[in-house]
């Protein structure tokens, strides 16, 4: 399912599946190991279920061809789903992270899925972990910044196998979907809202007062497909209730917020 060369095999480097030697050092002839103890290449499965009984299973998997300077495969978070209580599963997995040259690992999804599958994971600059795969003799895994990310993926896109890299040359005629109500709300100064953009493109923000008059506009340009946290500046707005609209392509979503 992650066979990028089409030869029927997900080819991994030896550093991806080898462990430290019994003495705690990197095996002879290798610069690093990225395996976590005795775990398999595909690991860390966790599941979620929605109100319709659809089951989602996320897992960590090494990516063929995405190799670090020390010759270990970077990982991404994959996902399969079942519409019949686990009797059968989707024919192919979908890649939820898709970052080249980064280790996306330790993914976890919420137990219950609503309109979105909610996921958190860790992104590392080096495959493997410092605690389990570092050799004091060669310091094969330096301590680097590990960032914890969150994203929300539309269930409709998952069930229709639309999660994947989009063509950046596509004209943005897709939808913008609001993941959550803006926060904080009520607010002073600025507020944030997370959205899902179905295709690359721009998002325009329009803010109107209760009389319908346009009082503020903002633009976010050259956004990639996926999640984006947008900041709306309300510092020049007088206290009251406003409607804000997010516009992408031919799609428009409107919600309200309160300025204190």
CATH number of the domain residue 116 falls in: 2.120.10.10
In a domain, 1, yes or no: no
State which H helix or E strand residue 15 sits in. Answer: helix 14-17
Tokens of 213: 């008059």
Q: In terms of domains, do 217 and 149 share one?
A: no
Q: In terms of domains, do 70 and 136 share one?
A: yes
Strand, helix or coil for residue 89: coil
pTM: 0.81
Q: For position 173, what pLDDT does the model report?
A: 53
Containing domain of residue 255, as a range? 176-259
Residues 6+ apart with CB under 8 A from 216: 205, 206, 207, 233, 234, 236, 237
Domain count, the chain: 2
Q: In terms of domains, do 117 and 142 share one?
A: yes
Q: In terms of domains, do 138 and 22 share one?
A: yes
Q: For position 169, what pLDDT does the model report?
A: 47
Q: In terms of domains, do 203 and 247 share one?
A: yes
In a domain, 65, yes or no: yes
Q: In terms of domains, do 154 and 60 share one?
A: yes
Q: In terms of domains, do 155 and 180 share one?
A: no
Q: In terms of domains, do 52 and 131 share one?
A: yes
Q: In terms of domains, do 249 and 154 share one?
A: no
23 touches 84 (CB < 8 A) = no
Q: In terms of domains, do 102 and 196 share one?
A: no
CATH number of the domain residue 195 falls in: 2.60.40.3080
State which H helix or E strand residue 240 sits in. Answer: strand 240-248
In a domain, 32, yes or no: yes
Name which of 236, 160, 158, 225 is nearest 196 in CA terms: 225
pLDDT one digit per residue (tens) for the chain, 260 residues: 688 888 988 899 999 999 888 888 888 888 899 988 888 889 999 999 999 999 999 999 999 999 999 899 999 999 999 999 999 999 889 999 888 899 999 999 999 999 999 999 999 999 988 888 888 787 788 888 889 999 999 999 899 988 864 444 445 556 788 888 999 999 999 999 999 888 888 899 999 999 999 999 999 988 888 889 999 999 999 999 999 999 987 789 999 999 99
Q: In terms of domains, do 145 and 54 share one?
A: yes
């Amino acid at each position: 399912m992650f066979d990028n060369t089409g030869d029927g095999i997900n080819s991994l480097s030896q550093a991806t599946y080898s462990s430290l030697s019994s003495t705690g050092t990197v095996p002879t002839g290798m610069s690093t190991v990225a395996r976590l103890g005795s775990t398999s290449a595909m690991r860390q499965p966790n599941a979620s279920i929605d109100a319709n009984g659809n089951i989602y299973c996320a897992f960590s998997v090494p990516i063929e061809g995405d190799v670090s300077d020390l010759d270990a495969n970077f990982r991404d978070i994959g996902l399969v789903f079942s519409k019949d209580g686990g009797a059968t599963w989707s024919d192919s997995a979908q890649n939820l992270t898709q970052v080249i040259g980064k280790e996306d690992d330790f993914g976890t999804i919420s137990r219950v899925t609503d309109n979105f599958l909610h996921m958190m994971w860790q992104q590392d600059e080096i495959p493997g972990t410092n605690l389990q795969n570092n050799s004091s003799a060669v310091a094969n895994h330096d301590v680097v910044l590990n960032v914890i990310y969150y994203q929300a993926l539309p269930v409709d896109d998952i069930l229709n196998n639309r999660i994947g890299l989009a063509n950046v040359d596509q004209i943005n005629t897709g939808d913008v979907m609001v993941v959550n109500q803006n926060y904080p709300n009520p607010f002073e100064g600025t507020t944030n809202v997370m959205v899902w953009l179905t295709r690359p493109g721009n998002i325009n923000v329009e803010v109107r007062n209760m009389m319908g008059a346009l009082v503020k506009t903002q633009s976010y340009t050259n956004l990639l497909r996926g999640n984006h946290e947008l900041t709306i500046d309300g510092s020049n707005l007088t206290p009251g209730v406003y409607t804000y609209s997010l516009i992408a392509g031919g799609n428009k979503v409107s919600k309200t917020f309160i300025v204190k």
